[in-house]
Amino acid sequence: MIHPTAIIDPAARLGRDVSVGAYAVIGPQVEIGDNTEISNHVTIMGPTLIGRDNLFYSTCSIGQDPQDKKFKRGETQSRLEIGDNNTFREFVTINRGSEAGGGITRLGNNNWIMANCHIAHDCQVGRNTVFAVGAIIAGHVTIGDFVTLGGFTAIHQFCSVGEYTITGGQTLIAQDVPPYVVANGNRVRLFGVNKVGLERNGLTPDEVSEIQKAYKIIFRSKLPQKEALARVGSELGGSPRAMRLVEFIQTSTRGICR
């Protein structure tokens, strides 16, 4: 299961049935869960914790130092944590966290990260996401569950993208993108509710309808934002999905794209 040309530090810990391909390099303070496959020429540095059933295609670079001028080599609070059942295609790069940004870059379970994607330091990526080819996210970005980033989407540092959102190819995001929407363009604009994605991921027709009603009030009614959010609360206060949209907008620190 371990190719003779692979270089594995004695301090690394590999679970059961982990395979390591030719010329792969695994550094110290790396822990890899069971049934994970590491292809040829993959580099994994630590401190990095990787769950089980992950697949790293050739030439991935995982757990390297943050690309942040404030980062100092040897920072004790600099980690990468990856969950279970993720796929990382060729030339994916993921950096560890930095002390200034909380210390941890984290990815959940069941993510599909295509070739040439970059996930920078201190990012928080949920579960069941898809990063199409060339999608890149800068430091301190938060990506919600079930998000799909179109090819070559680029996200500015400190932005958040809410759950169940989909972006078009070559989208440039410099403000927060709310949950449940279709977002596209440079600079990004909203193009309605991601109805197909919501249905595919198991939301009920009632939930989808409530989200659509909330979206129309917030983005199509021409009410001032504060009044629009208050109206959603009064008309759809019993809908957790609608109120999640309100909560996301109220807590945004970078402003919401329109």
Q: Just list the catalytic residues.
A: 121-122, 139
Q: Which of 179, 117, 108, 198 is nearest to 154 (CA)?
A: 117
Whether the Cβ atoms of residue 144 and residue 124 lie closer than 8 Å to each other: no
Whether the Cβ atoms of residue 24 and residue 39 lie closer than 8 Å to each other: yes
Calculate the alpha carbon distances from 51 to 30, 111, 146, 211, 243 in Å: 11, 12, 19, 34, 33
For the chain, the helix, strand and coil percentages under 3-state DSSP, each to the nearest 5? 20, 30, 55
**Measured distance CA(183)–CA(150) in Å, rounded:** 10
Q: What is the H or E stretch that residue 224 is in?
A: none
The token pair that represents 78 in the structure block: 């600099």
